[in-house]
Chains A and B, each alone.
Chain A
Amino acid sequence: MKTGTVRQILLITDGCSNYGEDPQVVAAFAKEQGITVNVIGVMQNDIIDERARDEIEGIATQGGGISQIVYTEVLSQTVQMVTRQAMTQTLQGIVNQELKQILNKDITIEELPPEQRGEIMEVVDELNETVDLEVVILVDTSASMTKKLPTVKEALLDLSLSLSARAGNNQFSLLVFPGKKKHVEKLLDWSPRLDTIPDVFAKLIPGGMTPTGPALQEAIQYFHEKRSFFGLLKRSDDSYHEESV
């Protein structure tokens, strides 16, 4: 099996979108293109409103990813855990597909006897370690998020630390929404580490709108831009596309 690239969008938000297209539709669209959407909901004073919860879970479900709603204090551990779990999930989905082809029947890892499951898990572990990973991080910087941004920054540094311990390559980029003039503003272009998050991050002036849908749309676009740019440099671009989990 060839080692390809896992593509993820990581959305960090604390509330509901109120502008542009439905983020759940955009997330489903991302999934169709082999991009997983994970969502982390940051709680405001121990509460999160019901509608926001539904939207957060909905985006992750449609985007084939994982969602978690957490207190700000445990953000670091959650961000890295969600990212890694989603990776495993994607890779397991691919292994499942390969299995179907090899065994020529509709079977998943869970349906095999425990001994064989163990061997397959070793393969998934190995892939997890070596696969290349591209993550577009999308941070909601609307007014209610202001106080949480330093913690978000710390969590992202921590994510970078966790992932850089792997053998595979990582590429991160950081987008925030709403931007000054556009829906989305780019803070960090594709780079292998996140320790260069500009200080601008803490000085952002939060805007009023929460255009989650358009922001997701841009994030997807961002993968394509990268692909076409790198396409000039290298021809083959294997991406892991997961049909079902």
Chain B
Amino acid sequence: MKNPFEIATGTVVSGKWHKNSYRIIKRLGHGANGTVFLADSKGKKVALKMSREARIITSETNVLKSFAKAQGKRPLGPSLFDVDDWEHQGQVIPFYVMEYIEGDTLFHFLERRGRTWLPVLILQLLEDLAALHKMGWVFGDLKPENMIVTPPPHRIRCIDVGGATKISRAIKEYTEFFDRGYWGLGTRKAEPSYDLFAVAMVIINCYYPGRFQKKEGGLNQLNHMIRKHLELKKYAEILNKAITGKYQRATEMRHDVLLFIQNKAFLANKSSYNRYQTQKKIRSKKRKQIWSVLETIFILTVIGFLYFAYFLEKMM
């Protein structure tokens, strides 16, 4: 129904209000809400999003503006540069220009570098979500397709803010697999726990890239799928707390993920650590034995000497 915008490479998009121009390099993606292009702005790469509906451009730029106020040093979403209208072939096309976040999508990255990276990325994500929640926003539509891992230093960023909703309002946009309402495990009210449910589903999705359909009994099915995968099973406790809404804050979940990583590191090193401990014990035991022998000899010598002295005295 909604066709992507077909705009040739090299086309210059110029704004009606702010008079900035952008040269289109290529199309990056297309979704239900619009088309995103890579563009050049005075030698700098930027991402430019167009939509047939001004409403979408306006509400997304509103979100990006609030995000900018909210976050400061580590923004989860892209920074906003410009909002304008492009008059093109008698049509007015609303667009906005944002930071181009370069990198691999979460799945590509994990495929390339291994799933050992996942817990670290989740820690980063949870820290950023905590900051976002603190400022009164919920991300809403969290899913791996919208997550980019930047080149070193690797960091997770989210590129589509269409679902971002002010806390306690109704979630604006969601994807069924990541939506707790779909699984019958909660409301669609924007609460931090809504995002944390989605984070758990992102982790699950990393082990079941094809996702799966809901059957009767959402919770049982999810728990079953978690336990069925050996690697995923290790996260069972954290995932279960997140999908049943036990975490009220991102920091609580982050704390558990942190413990999880530390425990894993401890377990991995436990065997070599043990060997070292035993060697130390053996060595110190030997030392103790030598001392006790010397001690006995010393005492016996002293007693012998005293006895000898007593004997001599008696003889005289």
A118-B187 contact in complex given A129-B169, A158-B181, C-beta closer than 8 Å = no
Chain B 1-54 residues near chain A, CB threshold 8 A: 1, 17, 54
Q: Select one of B17, B94, B169, B181 contacting A167, CB under 8 A.
A: B169
**Does B263 reach chain A (CB closer than 8 Å)?**
no
**Does B65 reach chain A (CB closer than 8 Å)?**
yes
Q: How many residues of A contact B (CB 8 A)?
A: 25
Given contacts A92-B55, A118-B58, 8 further A-B contacts (CB under 8 A): A88-B55, A109-B54, A114-B57, A114-B61, A125-B169, A158-B181, A162-B170, A165-B170
**Does A43 reach chain B (CB closer than 8 Å)?**
no
Whether B54 pairs with A110 at a CB distance below 8 angstroms is: yes
**Does B62 reach chain A (CB closer than 8 Å)?**
yes
Whether A163 pairs with B61 at a CB distance below 8 angstroms is: no
Whether B83 pairs with A114 at a CB distance below 8 angstroms is: yes
**Does A76 reach chain B (CB closer than 8 Å)?**
yes
Nearest neighbor of B194 in chain A, beta-carbon distance: A165
Q: Smallest Cβ distance from B58 to chain A, in angstroms?
A: 4
- Across the interface, which residues of B come within 8 angstroms of A121, CB to CB? 55, 58-59, 62
A76-B17 contact in complex given A110-B92, A162-B188, A167-B169, C-beta closer than 8 Å = no
Chain A 94-150 residues near chain B, CB threshold 8 A: 109-110, 113-115, 117-118, 121-122, 124-125, 129
Q: Smallest Cβ distance from A164 to chain B, in angstroms?
A: 7
- Across the interface, which residues of A come within 8 angstroms of B54, CB to CB? 109-110, 117
Closest 7 pairs (CB-CB, A-B): A165-B170, A165-B188, A114-B83, A165-B189, A121-B58, A166-B170, A110-B54
Chain A 207-228 residues near chain B, CB threshold 8 A: none
A165-B171 contact in complex given A110-B54, A114-B83, A118-B65, C-beta closer than 8 Å = yes
Whether A114 pairs with B170 at a CB distance below 8 angstroms is: no
Tally the A-B contacts, defined by beta carbons under 8 Å.
Answer: 60
> CA A118 – CA B111 in complex, angstroms?
40
Q: Select one of B58, B59, B182 contacting A158, CB under 8 A.
A: B182
Whether B170 pairs with A129 at a CB distance below 8 angstroms is: yes
Q: Smallest Cβ distance from B82 to chain A, in angstroms?
A: 9
Q: Which residue of B55, B62, B190 has the most chain A CB atoms within 10 A of its CB atom?
A: B55
14 contacts between A and B (CB under 8 A): A109-B58, A114-B17, A114-B57, A115-B83, A118-B65, A122-B62, A129-B170, A158-B181, A161-B188, A162-B171, A162-B181, A165-B170, A165-B188, A166-B169
> CA A76 – CA B94 in complex, angstroms?
29
**Does B84 reach chain A (CB closer than 8 Å)?**
yes
Chain B 177-230 residues near chain A, CB threshold 8 A: 181-182, 187-190
Nearest neighbor of A108 in chain B, beta-carbon distance: B54
Q: Smallest Cβ distance from A109 to chain B, in angstroms?
A: 7
Nearest neighbor of A117 in chain B, beta-carbon distance: B58
Q: Smallest Cβ distance from B141 to chain A, in angstroms?
A: 12
Whether B17 pairs with A113 at a CB distance below 8 angstroms is: yes
